[in-house]
Amino acid sequence: MTDVATGTDWQAWQDSWDRQQEWYMPDREERFRVMLDMVEATVGTAPRILDLACGTGSITDRVLKRFPDATSTGVDLDPALLAIAQGYFAGDRRVGFVTADLKDPDWTAKLPYDTYDAVLTATALHWLHSPRLAVLYGQLAPLVRPGGVFMNADHMPDPSSPLIGAAERAHRHAGMDRARAEGVLDWAEWWALAAADPVLAEPTKKRYEIYGEHADGDTPDDAWHARTLRGAGFTEARTVWRSPSDALVLGLR
């Protein structure tokens, strides 16, 4: 997965993104496993996927490795992460990418299909404030075909148990400190490397013009997500996995 024209090793960039994200979320792969289990349980092994706020295509990568007959549309606005995704999946006809702003009321018009078997997203929608996320959920319901699913894995702390949350956070950060001592990159260091890369420098510059350091969203609990999905038109919605700090919420159409 090295670009012959530029010499860019897209596999290396994909791997480094995964390592950086796993530093923040040690149970990231467990969340993905449950997500794909629920895809198989609800829509089978050849789904049409919408990878929402896809980043480098981490979900798409795992979907295609587990379900070779799947197809995926990745949608994002971040030009640097999309560059990595497009380079990594270059030549794979099962995958396409769309540049779109999820705050744009007409973003769904850019998609190649009217409906999807599953719309999947992870660690992305907390960049939106809750009122805007509720609007997005309303836009997603018509995109999911009857019997299809939407899943969101994200930071969803439980406000009813602050002492448990604090203990888990302290334990997780102690592990993060050990990993940092071993050379794991954090968010800022990873982006500094991207900004210094000849191929990614310009899209990284554009990315900072769009988002700044980090977008300013919020993190409602999983009960809010389930309730809002039902209000948006999903038949059922519930948590299908959670840790003390994160959750995976599924909405069934």
Query: 226: domain CATH number?
Result: 3.40.50.150
Q: Is residue 224 part of a domain?
A: yes
Do residues 112 and 73 lie in contact, with contact meaning Cβ atoms separated by under 8 Å?
Answer: yes
Segments in the chain forming alpha helices (H): 10-24, 28-43, 58-66, 79-88, 130-140, 162-181, 187-196, 201-211, 222-232
Q: Alpha-carbon distance 154 to 164, whole Å?
A: 18
Res 148: pLDDT: 98
Could you tell me the CA-to-CA distances from 33 to 145, 185, 243 in Å, in that order? 23, 24, 14
Each residue's pLDDT tens digit, 179-204: 888 888 999 999 999 999 999 999 99
Q: Is residue 5 part of a domain?
A: no
| 176, pLDDT greater than 70 | yes
Q: For residues 17-44, give the mean pLDDT.
A: 96
Q: Is residue 60 part of a domain?
A: yes
**What's the domain count of the chain?**
1
Q: Alpha-carbon distance 118 to 250, whole Å?
A: 10
| 81, pLDDT greater than 90 | yes
Could you tell me the CA-to-CA distances from 48 to 45, 148, 184, 225, 248 in Å, in that order? 10, 10, 34, 23, 20
Q: Is residue 240 part of a domain?
A: yes
Q: Is residue 180 part of a domain?
A: yes
Domain that holds residue 58: 10-252
Q: Is residue 4 part of a domain?
A: no
Tokens of 42: 């609800």
Q: Amino acid identity, residue 243?
A: S
Q: Alpha-carbon distance 14 to 208, whole Å?
A: 20
Q: Is residue 24 part of a domain?
A: yes
Q: Amino acid identity, residue 230?
A: R
Q: Is residue 86 part of a domain?
A: yes
Each residue's pLDDT tens digit, 132-157: 999 999 999 999 999 999 999 999 99
